[in-house]
């Protein structure tokens, strides 16, 4: 099986032993504590799941700046995005070496993890600007990732953590949320050696479905991991439970049996385009995948990134042996009226724009809200029905 990133075996930061976990929870009640922001809470969940292997906790400012500058920590680990615990107020914890981290996303803010505090550093506006421009390629406050990063606070709390639960993800998505080590176990059980991962924060239409099938066939994979983001998104994105239902229906009806694992992970979307694509590759390697599909505008938002910047970064900025996972580069896919099937548009040079079935996101939402059927070349009818029900419920 493909090795995890940066280590021989996966080292999730979740405390597996129940007795030890309960002891730590009792200790946490006596510790000074902070309520995390959602970004830091999702980082803690990802660390606990093993997705961020081999990190041991939250980075300090030197590592964050080094990662932003050249995608390596100070110690030389290849890593694309700073993993930080940024807070607004440190008065309660300024002299503490061990603190409880509380969950902002659950009522009552229960303890999510315990952190051993190595440093508490103030992050200057200049350092914030530097990190933002390197990671997001813009400092435009209209960019949702930029806006969120600037809102987090001015203090970086670094140090290793022990994760005691997985926030709301296990309860809210019991059939879908899986850790990296659980996915590895499932892949091993299935006997899959080559596994193609498909990242999604959106429902899957015909083009996505066919892209997964194309990639599987092209690399001769044993199976596909459809891996959906379950954390926070920007306003207007479709909620995870609706996406989950739509994807499950599509897989049930239109994929061969036992060729797809449908799972989700507990992370908030960054909309960091190319850098986020590299992070996606790392944590898909950590959960046992050999290939990641990177398509047009992967992890992008608006017009901040070129359509294929998330593919170019692997050629131009990722060192040759930094990752074991391979990238399947996909062009924009659409239904060809000429060929009566979904194609990669770059592979049919004889086609014009009028030879494809296109629908803008705005038009799709209008049609679904009005109860209009989507063209079957664009979306499976069973998927469209689930999405239409959601949009009509919002009116």
Supply 361's token pair: 């996101």
Active site residue 220: no
Contacts of 244-253 with C-beta under 8 Å, sequence gap 24+, read: 244/173, 244/175, 244/176, 245/386, 246/203, 246/204, 246/383, 246/386, 246/387, 247/200, 247/203, 247/204, 249/380, 249/382, 249/383, 249/386, 250/204, 250/209, 250/380, 250/382, 250/383, 251/226, 253/380, 253/382
Active site residue 201: yes
Catalytic residue among 102, 178, 184, 201: 201
Catalytic residue among 202, 248, 296, 365: 202
Catalytic amino acids?
Answer: 201-202
């Amino acid at each position: 099986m493909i090795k995890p990133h940066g280590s021989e075996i996966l080292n999730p930061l979740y405390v597996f032993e129940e007795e030890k976990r309960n002891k730590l929870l009792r200790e946490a009640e006596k510790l000074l504590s902070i309520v995390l922001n959602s970004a830091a809470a999702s980082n803690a969940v990802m660390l606990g799941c093993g997705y961020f292997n081999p990190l041991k906790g939250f980075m300090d400012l030197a590592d964050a700046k080094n990662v932003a500058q050249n995608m390596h920590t100070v110690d030389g680990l290849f890593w694309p995005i700073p993993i930080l615990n940024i807070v607004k107020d440190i008065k309660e914890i300024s002299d503490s070496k061990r603190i409880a981290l509380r969950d902002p996303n659950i009522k009552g803010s229960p303890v999510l993890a315990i952190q051993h505090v190595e440093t508490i550093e103030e992050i200057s506006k200049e350092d914030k600007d530097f990190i933002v421009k390197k990671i997001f390629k813009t400092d435009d406050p209209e960019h949702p990732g930029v806006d969120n990063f600037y809102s987090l606070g001015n203090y970086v709390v670094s140090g290793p953590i022990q994760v005691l639960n997985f926030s709301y993800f296990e309860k809210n998505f019991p059939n879908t949320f899986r850790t990296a080590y659980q996915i590895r176990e499932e892949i091993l059980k299935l006997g899959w050696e080559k596994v193609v991962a498909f990242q999604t924060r959106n429902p899957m239409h015909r083009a996505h479905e066919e892209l997964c099938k194309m990639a599987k066939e092209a690399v001769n994979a044993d199976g596909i991991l459809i891996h959906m983001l379950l954390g926070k998104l920007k306003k207007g994105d479709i909620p995870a439970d609706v996406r989950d239902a739509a994807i499950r229906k599509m897989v049930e009806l239109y994929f061969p049996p036992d060729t797809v694992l449908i799972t989700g992970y507990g992370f908030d979307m960054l909309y960091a385009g190319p850098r986020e694509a590299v992070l996606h590759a790392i944590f898909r390697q950590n959960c046992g995948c050999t290939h990641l599909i990177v398509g047009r505008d992967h992890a992008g938002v608006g017009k901040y990134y070129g359509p294929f910047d998330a593919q170019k970064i692997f050629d131009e900025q990722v060192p040759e042996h930094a990752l074991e996972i391979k990238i399947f580069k996909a062009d924009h896919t659409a239904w060809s009226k000429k060929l009566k099937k979904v194609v990669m548009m770059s592979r049919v040079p004889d086609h014009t724009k009028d030879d494809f079935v296109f629908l803008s996101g705005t038009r799709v939402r209008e049609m679904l809200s009005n109860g209009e059927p989507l063209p079957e070349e664009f979306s499976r009818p069973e998927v469209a029905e689930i999405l239409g029900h959601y949009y009509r419920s919002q009116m």
